[in-house]
Amino acid sequence: MEIEYFIPPDEDVWPKYHEEWLQTSYKWLLSIGLKPELLSFDVHPSHKLAHYARACTDIMFKFPFGTQELQGVAARGCFDLTQHAGASGKSMEYYDDVRKEKYVPHVIEPSIGVDRLMLAVLCSAYKEDEVGGEKRSLLQFHPRLAPIKAAVLPLVKNKPELMEKARAIFTRLQRRYYVQFDAAGAIGRRYRRMDEVGTPYCITVDFDTLEDDTVTLRDRDTTEQRRVSVAELIEFLEEQIDG
């Protein structure tokens, strides 16, 4: 997956755009949950560059099997467009309204492999810790990337009034996000199941819910729990996922 980002042909212009794309790419990788200690930069020396390239820097990721390229950002000059022009017989010149001139743009090309990016996300997200004296495995996906945004868990399934209330909350949340409903097994086991698939929030519907319309909201990473009103759930998820 790559982008062809066109820039003016001046020799003093491309270093600025090349660095901007490197920093933008790095910040984006951090924003989706990649750990900074697993990322590094590999600047290609001039004698290893393609004959047309001004510069090329790879963003590297430390996988369990070794450090490998995750994304490359190359300053490729006008080579791509001149090759297209020669093969197609079509002019690749661009008229710049600001400069009042025509030129063949130069290219900054960020490129990234989707498969290895997904593997990097999984490697960054995987964690083992201990909760209540028991070993726990979890995926610390950023809420934006988590396949399941939240799980609705009735405290017990043999109380029709709890199941009905939990189903109503589930249906409401489902209109906005992909959420799961889980009523099978002890509440602790259900928390662990959601931790393992990276669900950031668990919403427990208990007997207090029937009295005051509040639920227990559990955070995957910290396991901290707090009471929030049902009316606040959508707003809370929007802030965490879309904010």
Whose tokens are 């002890």? That residue is 186
Q: What is the pLDDT of residue 56?
A: 96
- Mean pLDDT of the region 136-144: 95
Q: Are residues 184 and 116 in the same domain?
A: no
Could you read off the pLDDT of 62-103 as tens digits, one per residue? Answer: 999 999 999 999 999 999 899 999 999 999 999 999 999 999
90 and 19 housed in the same domain: yes
Do residues 116 and 144 share a domain? no
> Is there a single domain that holds both residue 101 and residue 158?
no
Q: How far is CA 190 from the centre of its chain?
A: 25
Residue 170 binned pLDDT confidence (cut-offs 50, 70, 90): very high
- Beta carbons within 8 Å of 122's beta carbon, 6+ residues apart: 139
Number of domains in the chain: 2
Length of the chain: 243
Residues 86 and 144 in one domain: no
Domain closes at, from 106, 123, 140: 123
* Distance separating alpha carbons of residues 207 and 154, to the nearest angstrom: 9
- The verdict on 119 and 138 lying in the same domain is no
Determine contact, residues 34/14, Cβ cutoff 8 Å: no
Supply the CATH number for residue 171's domain.
3.40.50.800
- 189, containing H or E segment: helix 187-196
Residues 213 and 176 in one domain: yes
Domain that holds residue 147: 132-242
Q: Please give the structure tokens belonging to residue 117.
A: 């990016």
What gap in Å lies between CA 183 and CA 36, rounded to an integer?
38
> Span 132-153, mean pLDDT?
94
Instruction: Tell me the two tokens of residue 163.
Output: 């199941």
Dihedral, CA atoms, 194, 197, 198, 199, nearest 10 degrees?
-40
pTM (two decimals): 0.86
Pair 90, 136 in one domain: no
The CATH number given to whatever domain includes residue 32 is 3.30.930.10
| Domain match, 235 and 141 both | yes
pLDDT in tens, 191-233: 999 999 999 999 999 999 999 999 999 999 999 999 999 999 9
At 129, is the pLDDT very low, low, confident or very high (cuts 50, 70, 90)?
very high
pLDDT exceeding 70 applies to what percent of the chain? 100
**Same domain membership, residue 99 and residue 34:** yes
Same-domain check for residues 9 and 105: yes
Pair type for strands 150-154 and 201-205:
parallel
Domain boundary among 123, 145, 160: 123
Note every long-range contact of 39-43, with CB atoms under 8 Å and residues 24 or more positions apart, other chains counting.
39/70, 40/67, 42/69
- Single residue among 99, 123, 147 that ends a domain in this structure: 123
Query: How would you classify the pairing of strands 150-154 and 179-181?
Result: parallel
Q: Are residues 154 and 111 in the same domain?
A: no
Reported as a pLDDT band with limits 50, 70 and 90, residue 50 is: confident
